[in-house]
Amino acid sequence: MKIYFFGVEDWEKLHIERKIREKGIQGDFAFFKEALDESTVDKAKDADIVSVFIYSKLSKEVIDKMPELKLIITRSSGYDHIDVKYAREKGIKVAYIPGYGNNTVAEYTFALILALARKFKPMIENITRGIFTREGMMGIDIMGKTIGIIGTGRIGSHVARIAHGFGMKILAYDRSKNEELIQKYGVKYIGLEELLSQSDIVTVHLPYNRATHFLINRFNIKLMKLDSILINTSRGEVVELEAIVEALKEGRLAGGVGLDTIETEITAEEALLKESAITTLKLKKAAEAKYLLSQENVIVSPHLAYYTKDASERILDTTVENIELFLKEGKLLTPVPES
């Protein structure tokens, strides 16, 4: 079996190799720092198994260039960078890694909330320039504030647990209610528009799909309180970038915005436009992102809410366990669920 790993750092390679030795897994292994996409797929043209990260793009065309492929494992909880439907049509199994960073992302969510509530960004910038002042640095308590959690799955549930510890009032929006959260933490489930209008802090924890595309948009974002805080540690396309920029320019979301991921890539619909139109869209989104970075009450991070040593090791361990089970029994430990 030829087993190729793409998008791996040096320390990840060492960790994977150690786990492979411990489990006695046999195969021809190769490791690449690059993502797997149309420009690098020739390196995996004879692969039986590929393991990738979210920056890889396994389209129909890429999959077709790996005729021996039997298994794709993405080292992430999201899998929209893989054409899962097409892979299954070709008899290729697809695995993902759910649950590796539930508490990790929830903790980072509160790191963003606290940093905005206490104005860490302008404070640190001032101190770096040798300016020691309290002017403009008055923050807020989060105890007693209302937090609205959009999506109460694995990560959102941990957010509720932490929010309860801070003494916050907790609202939630989800397709299904988590009774444990209601009983343990007093979570109240309401409609999306109600949540946006009643919450001091809104935090998003949803997967990206057609139903969640621009769930927070230029229309419903106007329902949020003028001094509210908006956090997104899920996927960029769940929150419309232009809506955030428009709100900030109008003096809304004054409490701040924390984004671990932003919507910067063109959508499938936009891809049907002429090349000049696509270029214009990309430039527009780049300008919006630049505006966000310049704002004192906006914190943008490079998609690293999950990025701790503990969570990363859980990802790698589960990846190797999927490979082991597949080679032994043809099964997967964490298959991508049927849609």
Write down the residue that tokens 């310049």 correspond to.
294
Residue type present at position 281: L
pLDDT of residue 281: 55
pTM of the model: 0.84
Label residue 47 exposed, middle or buried (CB < 10 Å: 0-12, 13-18, 19+): buried
pLDDT of residue 279: 56
Residue type present at position 207: P
* CATH top class, domain 2-100+308-329: alpha beta
CA proximity to 196, closest of 157, 167, 229, 163:
229
Instruction: State how far the Cα of 13 lies from the Cα of 291, in Å rounded to an integer.
Output: 37
Could you give the 3-state DSSP secondary structure of residue 89?
A: helix
Label residue 24 exposed, middle or buried (CB < 10 Å: 0-12, 13-18, 19+): exposed
Is residue 84 within 8 A of residue 38, CB to CB? The reply is no
Instruction: State how far the Cα of 59 lies from the Cα of 119, in Å rounded to an integer.
Output: 42
User: Domain 102-300: which topology?
Assistant: Rossmann fold (3.40.50)
State the SS3 of 246-300.
HHHHCCCCCCEEEECCCCCCCCCCHHHCCHHHHHHHHHHHHHHHHHHHCCCCEEE
Domain regions of the chain by residue span: 2-100+308-329, 102-300
Edge-first strand order for the sheet with 2-6 is: 28-32, 2-6, 49-52, 71-74, 93-95
| pLDDT < 70 stretches in the chain | 264-284
pLDDT of residue 269: 39
Catalytic residue among 22, 135, 179, 269: 269
Angle at 116 between CA 112 and CA 147, to 5 degrees: 70
pLDDT of residue 161: 98
Annotated catalytic, 269? yes
Annotated catalytic, 265? no
Is residue 292 within 8 A of residue 262, CB to CB? The reply is yes
pLDDT of residue 303: 86
Catalytic residue among 118, 154, 303, 324: 303
Residue type present at position 52: V
Annotated catalytic, 134? no
Catalytic residue among 75, 235, 252, 314: 235
Instruction: State how far the Cα of 297 lies from the Cα of 257, in Å rounded to an integer.
Output: 6
Crossing angle for the helix pair 154-165 and 102-117, to the nearest 10 degrees:
50
Instruction: State how far the Cα of 339 lies from the Cα of 64, in Å rounded to an integer.
Output: 22
CA proximity to 47, closest of 59, 65, 60, 24:
65
What are the backbone angles phi and psi of residue 16, rounded to the nearest 5°? -65, -45
Could you give the 3-state DSSP secondary structure of residue 79?
A: coil
pLDDT of residue 39: 96
Distances in Å between the Cα of 258 and the Cα atoms of 232, 234, 315 are: 6, 11, 25
Say whether 102-300 and 2-100+308-329 share the same fold.
yes
Is residue 203 within 8 A of residue 231, CB to CB? The reply is yes
- Spell out the residues 6+ positions from residue 30 whose beta carbon is closer than 8 angstroms to its own: 2, 3, 4, 5, 43
- Copy the structure tokens of residue 218: 């230029």
